[in-house]
A and B are shown apart, each in its own frame.
Chain A
C-alpha cells in the first residue's frame, strides 16, 4: 500500500490472462469418487461452460481450482506454471475468483464495505468509509457495473447482490472468474443482464467458467463446453460443434425422447378449481394477490408466469391453505374450500408440489418411507387406533420408490441423502399417490438436472391425460410453453395476460411479465385497464 492512500484502488491487470490447464484431477470423499482423472482447460478470454447433472463433480472440480478443495491426484497449471492453492485467498492472489451459488456477503454492510472486506484492515473499514466508497465506485465504473457503493446489501435485489460478488472479485484482481450455477435464483430479464455482463467481461479479456446444468444457457453463452458425467470427462466441444440434443445426451448418457405431444385428453367444462376475485395479503405486503380469478378445467394444465415476487408465492400459499385469504373464494370440484385448512384441502382433492422442496416439501431428517407417508399419517389412514402401520407404510413406500424410479430405492434412507432430482421424485410420488383432482406444481423442476426435469414433466402431462387438472406456477417460460394449455401472466398480484398457449410467444410473455400487456385477454376483460377491486 502506498503512502497517502491506505485504501488500494482496484488491482490492475498485469500481462495477459493466464490459461488454466487441469490434468488428471481425482478427488474422492470416502468411498465416493467426485472427480475421476478429469481434465479441464480454460483458454484465455473464453467463456467456458462446465455442464453436468447434479452430482457430476462440477463444483468439486471448480473448488479444486479455487483452492477450496485439495485434489487427491492431478495437476493444476496456471499460465504454464504448476500451482497448488491452499486456500481461496491464495487463488485470488493469483487472479482466480469464484462466485458461489449462495452469496458470501455481509447483509448488514454496504456494497463498498463488502467489496473491500478482507483486503483492508477492520479499522480502515470503520474509519475510511468515504475513501472506500470512492475506490469502489471507481472500480464499478471501470468494469461498467451500475452499482451504488453505499447501498446496504440486504436492501438490494438478488441480481445486484450477484454483481457485487463479481465486483468484489474483480476489485481484488481476479482475471479468471468462476460462477457456480449463477442463474439459479434469477428471473429471465436478470439472466439476460447477467449474460450481457459476462460477455462484456470476456471482451475485456477475462476468462469465465460457468457451472450449470441448464442447456439453454450453454447455447446462449458458451465458447466451449466441458461436460462431466459421474465425475469423469464426457466431452469437450467448441461452439458450432454442439447442440442441445448432443449435450443432453452427453450429460445423461442417453437420448431424451421428445415429450409426448399434448392433445390426448379432452378439456372438460366444469372447472375442477375455481378461483374468484382472490385477495391475499402477505405480512407487510398488502394485496400480494390482488383480485385474481381463473378456472382450471379437467385435463388442463394452466401455467402461471411472472417475474418472481409478483404474487405467485402468495397465490401458492393461499391455495395450499397456509396463508390467510383476505377475500374472494376458492372452489375445488364445486365445493367451496375458501379458508380451509391444508387437511381440508387435501380431503377435497388437492395436492401440492411446493417450490421450496427442502423447506416445505420434505422432512429431510426423516426416511423416505416416512416422507412418503406424511399425508397418509395426517389423514389418519396410515394408522389403526392411533398405532402406525409401519409395515404398511414401508411396503407402500417400496412400491412408490420403484414406480417413480427413486434412487436409492431404500425406504429407510434419509431424504437428505438424496439428490435434488430424487427428492423431487419422492414429493411427486407422495402427492400423486392420492390421485388428486387438482395438482398445484410450483417450479417443479428448479434445481433439477435435465433427466429428472424431463421425468417430472412427463408425470405432469400424465396427470393431465388422466383428466385431472394441473396449476403450473413457474418462472421458466420454456417449461410453461411446453406444458401449459393456457398461460396467465401475473404482474403485481393481478392477472395481466391470459391466453391459450398457441397464441403466445416468448416475446409476448416477456413483455407481459415486464408489465406491458401486448394483446391483453384476461377472461375477456382487457387487463391493461385492470379493474380496481376492494
Chain B
C-alpha cells in the first residue's frame, strides 16, 4: 500500500471542494495557532511583568502605546517592519529551495555598507533621485553578491550554507564597523551622514515613515510575482520540495540554488539600503538589532509565503517598538522585549505554526 501515511483525502476519491475553501483550510489553522500563541505570550508576559512589580494592565497599555498608540509610534513600527519584511524575504526565498540562508544579517550589513559608501562617494553634482536610485540598486546588488557566495559554494563544492552564511555575517558586520571607524568617521558612533537630498523622502508627515516602506512593499510584490508567476520561482519550489525530481526532469539545480541565494541576498541588501537611506541616514553602530536574524522568524511565521511576510513583519516590529514604549513608560528594561520575542517564537514552534521539514535528510 502507499509508502507514506495517507492524507485525509483518499486515493482515487475525488474531493469536491472549491479552491478558495481549500486555501482557507490551508491557512486558517495556522492563523488560529498564531493567535493562540499571541494570547499565551501576553499571558506569560503579564505574569513576568507582575513578578517585576508592575501592573500588567498598565504594562500592556504601555506596550500598545509604544507599538501603535499614536501615528508617530506606528510609523516607527512600519519602518522596522519594512526592514524585517526585506530580511524576511531574504530568508524565505532560499528556504523555499530548502537552502538555509541564515546570513540575512550579513547581507543587511553588507548592503548598508555599500549604500553608505555609494551615497557618500557619488559625485556632488548628481541629482538626488539618480543618486538614490544608484545607491539602492548598488546595495541590492551588494546583498545579492553576499548571497551568491554561499550559493555558489553550495552548488559547486556542496559547502554547508549555514556555516558559510554565518561567516559572511561576521565579515559584513566588520565591514560596516570599518566604515564607521575608518572610512567615513564622524563625531559620534556612526558614519558621516548621507546628504539630505540623497535620503529616501518622507511620505507621511508627522511620522518618520519614508519611501523605504514603499520599497519594502515593492520587494514583497516582486517576491510574490517571482514565486508564483515565473519559471524561476517554479524551479526554486521544485528544487526545494524534491531536488532529485527537479534534477532528473532537466532542471539545472546548481543554477537554481545560486539564483535563489542571490535573490535572497538581494532582499537583504535592500534592507541595508532602507536602513541607511530611509531610517538612520548613516550606518550607525549596532543599527541592526539582529534584524537579519529576526527575518528568519518572520519568514517562518509567514510560512515562507511572500504576502504573509507583511503581517508577520508587522507583528515582530510591534514587539520591538512596544517594548521600547514599555521601557519609556514603566522603566522595565527593553530586554524584556527580547524575552517576549523569544517566548513567542518558542510558542509558535511548539504549536506547529513554524514547521521545518527535513525531507532531504533522508536522502
Contacts and interface: CB of A to CB of B under 8 A. Distances in A.
Interface of A: 29-30, 32, 34, 54-55, 58-59, 101-102, 180-181, 320-322, 341-343, 345-346, 352, 354, 356, 358-366, 370, 373-375, 377-380, 382-383, 386-388, 390, 407-410, 412-414, 416-420, 422, 430, 447
B7 interface: yes
14 contacts: A32-B9, A32-B13, A55-B10, A322-B244, A342-B249, A343-B252, A363-B245, A366-B241, A374-B246, A386-B231, A386-B232, A416-B4, A416-B7, A430-B249
Interface of B: 1-4, 6-15, 19, 22, 229-235, 237-238, 241-242, 244-252, 363
A370 B248 contact: no
A417 B241 contact: no
A374 B14 CA distance: 23
Contacts of A356: 244
A102 B185 CA distance: 65
A34 B252 CA distance: 42
A202 B235 CA distance: 54
A364 B13 contact: no
Given A341-B252, A343-B252, A387-B231, A422 B245 contact: no
A378 B249 contact: yes
B239 to A, nearest CB: 9
Most buried by B among A320, A322, A387, A447: A387
B247 A419 contact: no
A380 B8 CA distance: 35
Contacts of B15: 408, 410, 413, 417
Given A55-B1, A388-B230, 9 more contacts: A54-B11, A364-B242, A370-B234, A374-B245, A383-B231, A387-B231, A408-B13, A412-B19, A413-B15
B255 to A, nearest CB: 10
B234 A54 contact: no
A366 B234 CA distance: 10
A410 B242 CA distance: 21
Given A54-B11, A102-B3, A417-B9, A387 B247 contact: no
Given A388-B229, A416-B7, A55 B12 contact: yes
Contacts, number: 140
Contact of B238 (A34, A352, A374): A374
A377 B241 contact: no
A23 B12 CA distance: 26
Contact of B250 (A346, A417, A422): A346
A305 B3 CA distance: 24
A343 B248 CA distance: 8
A54 B1 contact: yes
Contacts of B19: 412
Contact of B237 (A360, A366, A414): A366
Nearest to B1: A59
Contact of A419 (B2, B229, B230): B2
A254 B230 CA distance: 45
Contacts of B234: 370, 373, 377, 388
What's the dominant secondary structure at chain B's contact region? loop
B231 A420 contact: no
Contacts of B7: 414, 416-417
* 6 interchain residue pairs of minimum CB distance: A419-B11, A408-B14, A378-B250, A383-B231, A343-B250, A374-B249
B75 to A, nearest CB: 36
A51 to B, nearest CB: 13
A500 B203 CA distance: 80
Nearest to B234: A377
A387 B225 CA distance: 9
A213 B194 CA distance: 74
Nearest to B237: A366
Most buried by A among B3, B14, B229, B231: B231
A417 B3 CA distance: 12
Given A322-B248, A360-B248, A416-B4, A383 B13 contact: no
Most buried by A among B229, B232, B250, B363: B250
A354 B1 CA distance: 18
B348 to A, nearest CB: 21
Contact of B11 (A55, A346, A358, A361): A55
A383 B230 contact: yes
A362 B13 CA distance: 20
A370 B7 CA distance: 19
Contacts of A386: 230-232
Contacts of A363: 238, 241-242, 245-246
Given A359-B363, A360-B245, A447-B3, A378 B237 contact: no
Given A358-B3, A388-B234, A342 B250 contact: yes
A366 B231 contact: no
A354 B251 CA distance: 16
Contact of B1 (A181, A412, A414): A181
B13 to A, nearest CB: 6
Given A342-B250, A388-B234, A407 B1 contact: no
Nearest to B5: A416
Contact of A422 (B11, B229, B231): B11
A342 B247 contact: yes
A380 B252 CA distance: 11
Contacts of A373: 234
Contacts of B237: 366
Given A363-B242, A410-B14, A342 B248 contact: yes
A180 B14 CA distance: 26
A383 B234 CA distance: 10
B231 A358 contact: no
Contacts of B9: 32, 413, 417
Contacts of B245: 359-363, 374
Contacts of B2: 54-55, 419-420
Contacts of B252: 341, 343, 378
A364 B4 CA distance: 11
Given A341-B252, A342-B250, A363-B245, A378 B235 contact: yes
Nearest to B13: A32
B230 A358 contact: no
A373 B2 CA distance: 24
A322 B249 CA distance: 11
Contacts of A321: 248
Contacts of A29: 6, 8, 10
Contacts of A359: 242, 244-245, 363
B221 to A, nearest CB: 15
A232 B224 CA distance: 47
Nearest to A34: B10
A375 B249 contact: yes
A410 B22 CA distance: 13
A382 B250 contact: no
Contacts of A413: 9, 15
A359 B245 CA distance: 7
A370 B246 CA distance: 11
Nearest to B242: A363
Contacts of A422: 11-12
A345 to B, nearest CB: 8
B6 to A, nearest CB: 8
A55 B245 CA distance: 25
A380 B251 CA distance: 10
A390 B1 contact: no
